[in-house]
Structure 1
Amino acid sequence: MSAAILGAALAGAQALLAGAMALAAWRLFRGPRAQDRVLALDTLYVNGATLLLVFGIRSGSTLYFEAALLVALLGFAATAALARFLMRGEVIE
């Protein structure tokens, strides 16, 4: 695979992920219900972790991969806590 093709594909992926993050942030602030906001937050952290992975591929640094893993783990915990709060009204019983 040519380096120019890989560079163009990574730049395109970064642009599309940035657009997806902008749309998710719009839904996060505009969402009429709390469930819409939780789903937008979930989408936002998944796109953020994927954008970090693309940055890692582009730069060749493993630091971005570790940061993406950390974002994914914290995002999952936050989504689970928010979903539980919306279902029961409390996080810790």
Structure 2
Amino acid sequence: MTIAAYVAGGILSLAATLALYRAVRGPSILDRVLALDVVLAIIGAALVLNMIVNRHLDNLILLVTVSVIGFIGSVTVARFVTDRK
């Protein structure tokens, strides 16, 4: 279980690094928003991994909050982009 947690943590950190690179480097606003949405999903996955490894549910409210913020942010940007065109 410990090895799997380290492997999953490494994959999540690599994915977060690549997504943050895309957010900084992205040519358009949609690329940046999508990359930041992926970062929020990775944060959620890291919270779940933490809850699994430590066998607690302390981060559940934080997980729901991060998910809602990601959803509302994506919908807001999608509406902004469609109204602009």
TM-score (norm 2): 0.91
Specify which of 32, 41, 47 is matched with residue 52 of structure 1: 47
Counterparts of 1:17 and 1:65 in 2: how far apart (Å)?
Answer: 19
Q: Residue type of the partner of 1:31?
A: G
- In the alignment, the residues of structure 2 paired with residue 22 and residue 50 of structure 1 have an alpha-carbon distance, to the nearest angstrom, of 14
For 1:76, give the aligned amino acid: F
Question: Which of 1, 10, 13 pairs up with 1:15?
Answer: 10
Partner of 1:43: 38
Q: For residues 1-93 of structure 1, what are the structure 2 equivalents within 5 Å?
A: 6-89=1-84
Identity of aligned residues (%): 30
For 1:60-84, what per-residue CA distance to the aligned partner results, in whole angstroms no more than 9, with x for missing partners? 1211233112111111111111111
Segments ≥4 residues shifted beyond 3 Å: none
Of the two, which has the highest radius of gyration?
1
Query: Contact 1:38–1:83 at 8 Å: present in 2 too?
Result: no
**Is there any run of 5+ residues in structure 1 with no aligned partner, and where?**
1-5
Q: Which runs of 5+ in 2 are unaligned?
A: none
The secondary structure found in structure 1 opposite 2:59 is helix
Could you report, residue by residue, the CA deviation over 1:8-67 in whole angstroms, capped at 9, with x for unpaired residues? 101110111011011101100110011111111111111110111001111112112331
